[in-house]
């Protein structure tokens, strides 16, 4: 299990390292605060602070879910949007990576 955590940590560090405008860090910090959200709600929150499209937010959430593996996705029925939630196992890791990253913009 620790090898999986170390791989996720490296991917997370790389994801944050490529954060040119602070949106990636901000998305992760929003997940730390709210724990559970949809793409639309997340977009509304992020659009207040950053100029970003809904599809860019959806793409980043999809990447975080599929490649980083730190989110769960749940859909009640085919009519409802997907609700993404942060896996509790990775909360400390995300906080540590965000705090240690020099490119992280304070939120």
Domain layout of the chain by residue ranges: 2-100
Residue 106 has pLDDT above 70, yes or no: no
Architecture of the structural domain at 2-100: Orthogonal Bundle (1.10)
Number of residues that make up the chain: 107
CA distance 96 to 53: 28
| Mean pLDDT of all residues belonging to the chain | 90
Dihedral sign, CA of 36, 42, 50, 9? positive
pTM assigned to the model: 0.86
pLDDT on residue 102: 66
pLDDT digits (tens, 9 = 90+) for 37-85: 999 999 999 999 999 999 999 999 999 999 999 999 999 999 999 999 9
């Amino acid at each position: 299990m620790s090898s999986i955590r170390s791989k996720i940590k490296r991917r997370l560090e790389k994801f944050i390292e490529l954060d040119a405008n602070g949106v990636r860090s901000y998305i992760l910090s929003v997940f730390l605060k709210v724990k559970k959200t949809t793409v639309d709600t997340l977009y509304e929150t992020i659009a207040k602070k950053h100029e970003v499209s809904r599809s860019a937010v959806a793409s980043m959430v999809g990447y975080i879910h599929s490649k980083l593996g730190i989110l769960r996705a749940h859909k009640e029925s085919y009519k409802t949007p997907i609700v993404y939630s942060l896996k509790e196992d990775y909360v400390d890791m995300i906080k540590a990576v965000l705090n240690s990253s020099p490119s992280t913009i304070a939120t």
